[in-house]
Amino acid sequence: MFKKILIANRGEIAVRVIRACKEMGVQTVAVYSTADAEALHVKLADEAYCIGGPRPQDSYLNGDAILTVAAASGATAIHPGYGFLSENAAFARQCRECGVVFVGPAPEVIERMGDKDAARRTARAAGVPVVPGCDLLESAEAAEAEAARIGCSVLIKARSGGGGRGIRKVERLADVGRAFTEARAEAEAAFGDGACYMEKFVAPAHHVEVQVLADAHGNVVTLGERECSVQRRNQKLLEESPAPCLDGRDDVRERMYEAARSLARAVGYEGAGTIEYLYTDNGQFYFMEMNTRLQVEHPVTEFVTDIDLVKWQLRIAAGVAFPYTQDELAPAKRAHAIECRINAEGPGPDYLPSCGTVENLHVPGGPWVRFDSALYPGALVPPYYDSMLGKLIVRAGTREEAVRKMRSALTELEVDGVQENSDLQLDILANPEFLSGIYHTNLMEHLYES
Ligand code: ADP
Ligand code: ADP
Ligand code: MG
């Protein structure tokens, strides 16, 4: 195992990784921006180094500064968390050149799967069904022709998009050309890469994703699925495992798992990764993308499998073989986990991000109640980064009990000083459609109608 690792991230995920390291006896090095001098990850790490100004490009995206700190501190591995440099193949390559282990798959694999258009081709070649659509679009005319072939509605997607950004829905053929030109310009500005492709808009559909873990010795396992259809603007708000829409559909489940494993094998995947699918109620599923990193919602999987994904990421990166076979990984009987993302935001309809200083904090507790965050009384929530303050995760024996437990935990949670969205989460947990277990990615659009 590594003696010392650097955590190239901030917020709850940096804290999550530091805690795993402490339990494993690994020393930790934090990096931070000038806006995060008092942040929890800085306080908890054994060493911490300021690497630049608040803007991400000056600090958490500054690969050179991060590698300089790794060299100076003697850290031999870098955990990138999610977001920032976690899916940056050039950074993973730079780590390799500097002799530092990047905790994640090889740069070649990140390239193949991180590019969403290339990933579609790889999935197809591995025999995994993909959403009907097309390859990269050269022009507005080409976009119009493809949309006519695919049939509206369609989504124009940026190859380099992520975090729900870089996706544009077009409902009428007549609007496709203009939408394409706009989408390309937006993608160029946001991701420095204007390349876009198109997919059929599949609805009603579920976002169901499968957790994969693969080691350097050829072991590839799946750790169940997560239902992530509660989304606003294509961003997840609440996740659960197992997926209620797959109740009684173990055949489909198994095919989704098998497809995920073959895709991971086909690209020589190493580490933790997620295969995202769209699933329709007639039993069809389509590959959407692969996230070649740890995911925000990984705790729901940890709660139903008893596998610590962060510790396994570190062990796999250090060359340890994963010891359990797929058969030994049967999910815990009678376990259901739910996660609610607690975001700093004002009440609707704009849900504007909120920032400020946390004045008072009460965190719910009890068995199988977990709050992953970087909050403490006095913590500053700066305006420069992701608006997620933390994640509340519960596990219970049944879905009904998990819902009640989450309600009770959300009601207890108190964050004074910044506005947060636990009331919205409570509304979701009271929604009849959500409670039925069969809800789709459009749930939030009619949350307040039923
Ligand atoms: P998950 O798939 O783990 O639920 P999200 O889609 O919520 O992840 O994204 C996790 C974090 O990574 C968010 O902070 C999001 O803003 C960020 N992120 C993901 N992809 C990109 C990208 N291509 N560009 C910028 N930020 C991204
Ligand atoms: P990101 O990289 O931003 O996570 P995804 O390709 O995973 O982008 O899409 C984000 C969300 O957008 C999905 O979870 C789903 O709700 C919706 N979505 C994406 N593609 C489609 C599609 N072809 N049809 C319907 N909804 C889609
Ligand atoms: Mg996605």
Q: How confident is the prediction along the chain (450 residues), in pLDDT tens digits per residue? A: 999 999 999 999 999 999 999 999 999 999 999 999 999 999 999 999 999 999 999 999 999 999 999 999 999 999 999 999 999 999 999 999 999 999 999 999 999 998 999 999 999 999 999 999 999 999 999 999 999 999 999 999 999 999 889 999 999 999 999 999 999 999 999 999 999 999 999 999 999 999 999 999 999 999 999 999 999 999 999 999 999 999 999 999 999 999 999 999 999 999 999 999 999 999 999 999 999 999 999 999 999 999 999 999 999 999 999 999 999 997 767 899 999 999 999 877 677 778 899 999 999 999 999 999 999 999 999 999 999 999 999 999 999 999 999 999 999 999 999 999 999 999 999 999 999 999 999 999 989 875
441 CA: nearest ligand 2 atom: 16
Question: What is the distance in A from the centroid of ligand 1 to the CA of 295?
Answer: 9
Dihedral sign from CA coordinates of 355, 361, 367, 373: positive
The secondary element (H helix, E strand) that includes residue 420 is: none
Is 406 within 8 Å of 429 (Cβ atoms)?
Answer: yes
Beta-bridge partners for 337: 241, 395
Ligand 2: lining residues by beta carbon, under 6 Å? 131, 155, 161-164, 167, 199-203, 205, 207, 231, 234, 276, 278, 288-289, 441
- Cβ atoms within 10 A of the Cβ of 289, count? 23
Instruction: Please tell me the distance from the alpha carbon of residue 196 to that of residue 184, in angstroms, as a whole number.
Output: 6
Cα 315 from Cα 322, distance rounded (Å) = 8
Q: Which residues line ligand 1 (CB under 6 A)?
A: 82-83, 160-164, 235-236, 291, 295-297, 386
Q: Which atom of ligand 2 is nearest to the CA of 166?
A: 3
Which residue CA neighbors atom 12 of ligand 2 most closely?
A: 234
| Residue 122 to residue 100: CA distance in whole angstroms | 28
Instruction: Choose, from 226, 253, 293, 395, the residue flagged as catalytic.
Output: 293
As given in the structure block, the two tokens for residue 57 are 């490009």
**For 437, left (φ over 0), alpha (ψ -120 to 50), or beta?**
left
Ligand positioned closest to the Cα atom of 10: 1
How crowded is residue 182: how many other Cβ atoms within 10 Å of its Cβ?
14
CA angle 107, 307, 90 (to 5 degrees): 10
Q: What is the CATH T-level fold of the domain 132-200, as seen in this structure?
A: Dna Ligase; domain 1 (3.30.1490)
- Measured CA to CA, the distance from residue 348 to residue 288 in angstroms comes to 29
Q: Which atom of ligand 1 is nearest to the CA of 166?
A: 23
Closest CA to 350 of 406, 419, 417, 414: 419
User: Ligand 3 centroid vs 281 CA: distance in angstroms?
Assistant: 20
**pLDDT at residue 450, as a whole number:** 59
Ligand nearest to the CA of 169: 2
The CATH number corresponding to 4-103 among 3.40.80.10, 1.10.357.10, 3.40.1160.10, 3.40.50.20 equals: 3.40.50.20
**Measured between alpha carbons, how far is 362 from 371 in angstroms, rounded to an integer?**
11
Task: Please report, for the chain, the start and end positions of each structural domain, with discontinuous segments joined by +.
Answer: 4-103, 132-200, 206-446
Q: Which of 234, 245, 441 to mutate to test the pocket of ligand 2 (most atoms within 8 A of CB)?
A: 234
DSSP 92-123: HHHHHHTT-EESSS-HHHHHHHHSHHHHHHHH
Q: Which amino acid is at 273?
A: G
Protein residue with its CA nearest to atom 18 in ligand 2? 234
What is the predicted pLDDT for the residue at 350?
75
pTM above 0.85, yes or no: yes
Residue pair 278/207 in contact (Cβ under 8 Å)? The answer is: yes
Q: Which atom of ligand 2 is nearest the CA belonging to 202? A: 24
Please tell me the distance from the alpha carbon of residue 221 to that of residue 272, in angstroms, as a whole number. Answer: 10
Residue nearest to atom 16 of ligand 1 (CA): 163
Ligand 2 centroid from CA 300, angstroms: 20
Ligand 2 center to 289 CA (angstroms): 8
| Among the listed residues 22, 43, 81, the one whose alpha carbon sits nearest the alpha carbon of residue 374 | 43
Exposed, middle or buried: residue 435 (CB in 10 Å: 0-12, 13-18, 19+)?
Answer: middle
Contact 390, 371 (CB under 8 A): yes
The yes-or-no answer on residue 293 being catalytic is yes
* Ligand 3 center to 392 CA (angstroms): 21
Mutate-to-test residue for ligand 1 from 296, 302, 339, 343, highest number of ligand atoms within 8 A of CB: 296
Residue 358 C-alpha to ligand 3 middle, in angstroms? 30
User: Which numbered atom of ligand 2 lies nearest the CA of 205?
Assistant: 25
- Expressed in angstroms and rounded, the spacing between residue 158 Cα and the centre of ligand 3 is 12
Query: What is the per-residue pLDDT for 449?
Result: 78
In sequence order, the 6+-apart residues with CB closer than 8 A to the CB of 122 are 112, 113, 263, 266, 267
The protein residue whose alpha carbon is closest to atom 12 in ligand 1 is 83
> Any idea which ligand is nearest the CA of 297?
1
Ligand 2 centre from 338 Cα, in Å? Answer: 21
Indicate the class that CATH gives domain 206-446. Answer: alpha beta
Fold agreement between 132-200 and 206-446: no
Contact 169, 153 (CB under 8 A): yes
Mutate which of 12, 13, 82, 387 for ligand 1? The one with the most ligand atoms within 8 Å of its CB, which is 82
Q: Which of 84, 165, 294 to mutate to test the pocket of ligand 1 (most atoms within 8 A of CB)?
A: 165
Question: Whole-angstrom Cα distance, residue 406 to residue 320?
Answer: 36
